[in-house]
Structure 1
């Protein structure tokens, strides 16, 4: 039995599928994965013995600037990606029994699966990405911001925007392989039975007519890597620091300076993760330490709070560690959603936007570092599931059998 997994995006998009791939292989399934050709993804998959089928340009190159590409560039990237997918996916799916696609960017996946006569599964990592009257669509960079507040109307506009971007291109390719046109690209990609790879406590799905969502829990692998010796020494040398990191995202340029100033004002040490933005320390004082890629599962249990952008993976990793969170959401994808969930669950604080002040950070730290917030975060950690990828692998295998 063979399965093709496909996604395009940063580490937060790739890593959950890596977890699914490992669990599927443990059940005897052969797996290959379509993903960006970035070196870190290629090394990660090669180290696990998973075949990489590179698709599209390196994500790090696309996101190399301090801001997102222009609306025109984003539209061009999106159209080019559909053409690329139709060029690569059919060969990648050859001999496969199923295609699992993560994220709305996988426009060609269902059509390729349909033409090949194999099972297609769409997966989202956050409830906010699935149409529902219970929430508004996530921000979609490069498309017009609607001026209405009704969720159903917003989702209708969202479907129109997605179809306006992709409809002509998708239907042109479908016609070329003998498939009929679709009149709603978004719902075609998402299907009426999508999977939700998010924790049911941290990010629950509310029942919605027309969608039969299968919520499996978040997909992640246990990470047993030890912390680097220098980092362990820093952690042992004083009280737990506050971690500041934005992963693959590029926050406002002065966020590290502002965060460290606010952290120091609360009497705490700071730990800054460079990430793709190459954040660094403001000065050489010994109450701060800069790190590269490390094991967050091991690290987060040793910090006082986690400051991050609101990615699904970081949010659930911090929640599992029982550590309070301060979310500085970029106005992108599911970042505002996860910021809202952290605030709603009272396991931390959420800022209003991506460019906080020292003062607003100070208020957030006062909330996050309060003993009662830590107690709520620790209590919630016992409810977070860790078997999401195992559940999903078993569901897929049962369906294929």
Structure 2
């Protein structure tokens, strides 16, 4: 049995599928995985024994700089990526029994699977990416935000935007494959039976007519890597610090400085994760420590709180560790959704916008560091147990048998 997995995005998009790949291999399945050609993804998959198939430009090149590309640039980039997918996916899928795609960028995946006559599964990492009147669609870079607050209307406008971007190009490729055209590109990609790779305690699916969603739990792997010695020395030198990191996101200018200053005003130490923005320390005082790639699963159990951008992976890791969170959410993808979930569960605080002021930062940190917040975060962490990748792997294998 052989399966093709496919995604395009940052580490937060790649890691969950890598976890699924490992669980599939444990069940005797051969796995290939389409990912961006960034070196870090190739190394990661090689270390797991998974064959990487590079697709599209490196994500770091697209994410370089502090400004979002223009709407016109994003439109050209999305169309080029679709054409690239149709050029690469058929060969990558050769000999496979199924294709599992994650992310709306996977516009070509279902058509290629359909032409090959193999099973297609769409997976989302957050409920907000699936249409429901219970929430609005996530912000999509380069597309206008509607003025209406009615969720159903916003989803209808979202479908129109997806069609405007992709319908002509997608249906042109489908015609060349001998397939009929599709009227609704977004729902074609999502299917009416998608999987949701998110923890049902942290990010539950609100039951919605028309969608038969299978929620498997978060796809992640246990990380056994030790923490670096210099980091352990810093941790042991005082009270648990507050972790500050924004992963592959573009934080607002000086946001790390603002967080460090707010923490110092409350007598707290800080850990600053460099991330893709290459954040650093603001001075040489010994109450702050800068770190690179690290085992967050092990580290978060030793911090007082986690300040982050609202990525699905960081939110889930902090929640499993039972540690309070402060989400400084960017206005893209599922970041605002996870910020809202942290606030709704009362396990931390969510700040509106990527450039919070000093007063709002101070209040948010006080909320997260309060003993009652930590108690709620720990109680929630004790409820998160499901190995979602193992659940999904068994579901897929059982369906193929």
Residue equivalent to 1:243: 243
Verify the 8 A CA contact 1:24 1:31 in the aligned structure 2.
Answer: yes
Shift of 1:309: 0.3
Shift of 1:358: 1.6
SS at the partner of 1:113? Answer: helix
Verify the 8 A CA contact 1:36 1:56 in the aligned structure 2.
Answer: yes
Residue equivalent to 2:30: 30
Residue equivalent to 2:200: 200
Shift of 1:253: 1.7
**Alpha-carbon distance in structure 2 between the residues aligned to 1:303 and 1:232:** 12
Residue equivalent to 2:386: 386
Q: Does 1:320 align with 2:329?
A: no
**Alpha-carbon distance in structure 1 between the residues aligned to 2:324 and 2:2:** 41
SS at the partner of 1:319? Answer: helix
Q: Does 1:336 align with 2:331?
A: no
SS at the partner of 2:329? Answer: coil
Q: Does 1:357 align with 2:357?
A: yes
Verify the 8 A CA contact 1:220 1:386 in the aligned structure 2.
Answer: no
- Residue correspondence of structure 1 range 136-285 to structure 2 within 5 A: 136-285=136-285
Verify the 8 A CA contact 1:351 1:364 in the aligned structure 2.
Answer: yes
Residue equivalent to 1:289: 289
What do the CA deviations read for 1:343-399 (whole angstroms, capped 9, x no partner)? Answer: 000000000110011211100001000000000000000111331000000000000
Verify the 8 A CA contact 1:218 1:385 in the aligned structure 2.
Answer: no
Count residues with an aligned counterpart: 401
Q: What's the TM-score once normalised by structure 1's chain length?
A: 1.00
Following superposition, which runs of at least 4 residues in structure 1 exceed 2 angstroms of deviation?
none
Shift of 1:250: 1.1
Residue equivalent to 1:299: 299
**Alpha-carbon distance in structure 1 between the residues aligned to 2:187 and 2:349:** 33
Residue equivalent to 2:112: 112
Structure 2 unaligned regions, length at least 5: none
- Residue correspondence of structure 1 range 365-384 to structure 2 within 5 A: 365-384=365-384
**Alpha-carbon distance in structure 2 between the residues aligned to 1:308 and 1:80:** 31
Residue equivalent to 1:130: 130
**Alpha-carbon distance in structure 2 between the residues aligned to 1:38 and 1:221:** 21
**Alpha-carbon distance in structure 1 between the residues aligned to 2:312 and 2:230:** 28
What do the CA deviations read for 1:158-207 (whole angstroms, capped 9, x no partner)? Answer: 00000010000000000001000000000000000000000000000011
Residue equivalent to 1:7: 7
Residue equivalent to 2:100: 100
**Alpha-carbon distance in structure 2 between the residues aligned to 1:364 and 1:202:** 20
Structure 1 unaligned regions, length at least 5: none
Residue equivalent to 1:397: 397
What do the CA deviations read for 1:266-305 (whole angstroms, capped 9, x no partner)? Answer: 1100000000000001000000000000000000000000
**Alpha-carbon distance in structure 1 between the residues aligned to 2:110 and 2:202:** 29
**Alpha-carbon distance in structure 1 between the residues aligned to 2:234 and 2:357:** 27
Residue equivalent to 1:56: 56
**Alpha-carbon distance in structure 1 between the residues aligned to 2:164 and 2:6:** 23
**Alpha-carbon distance in structure 1 between the residues aligned to 2:216 and 2:50:** 23
SS at the partner of 1:344? Answer: helix
Shift of 1:54: 0.1
Q: What's the TM-score once normalised by structure 2's chain length?
A: 1.00
**Alpha-carbon distance in structure 2 between the residues aligned to 1:77 and 1:306:** 33
SS at the partner of 2:111? Answer: helix
**Alpha-carbon distance in structure 2 between the residues aligned to 1:332 and 1:149:** 17
